Structure 1
């Protein structure tokens, strides 16, 4: 497994298929890290759609999305499931942030969080406007996640 990114490291560019629920439409497209340059980005890696902890985490972030975006940041959820699964998950829980499909775990490996059996370790990375890692939370077991208020506080510190 690759080493987990360290604070101050620049994340390598990536491209993943994803989708975002807008009203009744799930818009599918390719997402690239480089398209976010110029504004902060929250990357929320989670092991699986519709699992108890992942559902609580993504619902928390979706409910706090306006607050998270108030600093100009985007929030992307990333997991190994495909777009059909992501669409069902987004519709079933009314999730409004993009959900990206890292089915080969390429991005999880590049961030050093790929894990046997579960696909990836639950992790949240906040990148600054240049793509440098500002803050991270990586779990060993995966049953905890930082609340949206913690992420918002980090985004405020980043913009100060």
Structure 2
């Protein structure tokens, strides 16, 4: 690896780390354009760790979707965030919501991560960053820590930036409750 590439990857990693703790406007610009709330969420089809082929957003019409992007399997913040979503998975299911995690890691890495952490929700392999870019959540070579709530009709209803992994699932559940009460 050349010295230039090393520093480029190091810088990207630092930015991705900081994106998990701050609301730095420059991180949004680097990650691409965020999709607008109130509009249809960008559609996708990606391979998953489950061994069941690919998953599309349209597979979840009729359900709420919590689509969360994270930098890397097996890193401390990403592990904590995934553990909290797993801990709260029954609460999401009670709310007719599906959790989908996305990073640039491979299907095999996702499968190992799910096995190691006992995760029972799909992780999608966005190895070229195309989905992360579509959601304004990309700093090459990884996804930024962003989360999106998508309603049962495929409309983007909420965007979370500057996610704090230890409390994020609780924040998402609270907002999901607000959105569902408003929709009733």
Q: Is TM (by shorter chain) over 0.5?
A: yes
Structure 2 CA distance for aligned equivalents of residues 135 and 14 of structure 1: 18
Structure 1 residue runs of 4+, over 2 Å off?
144-147
The RMSD of aligned alpha carbons is: 1.5
Tell me, what secondary structure is at the counterpart of 2:160? strand
- TM-score, normalised relative to structure 1: 0.87
- Specify which structure has the higher proportion of strand: 1
Provide the residue aligned with 2:174 in structure 1: 153
Count of paired positions: 150
Matched, 1:121 2:136: no
Provide the residue aligned with 1:23 in structure 2: none
Provide the residue aligned with 2:12 in structure 1: none
Provide the residue aligned with 1:80 in structure 2: 104
- Farther off after superposition, 108-117 or 83-92: 108-117
Matched, 1:17 2:40: no
- TM-score, normalised relative to structure 2: 0.77
Structure 2 CA distance for aligned equivalents of residues 137 and 114 of structure 1: 14
Task: Choose the corresponding residue for 1:138, options 155, 161, 180.
Answer: 161
Contact 1:68 1:151 in 2 (8 A): no
Structure 1 CA distance for aligned equivalents of residues 136 and 148 of structure 2: 12
- Specify which structure has the higher proportion of helix: 2
Q: Which runs of 5+ in 1 are unaligned?
A: 21-26
Rg bigger for which structure? 2
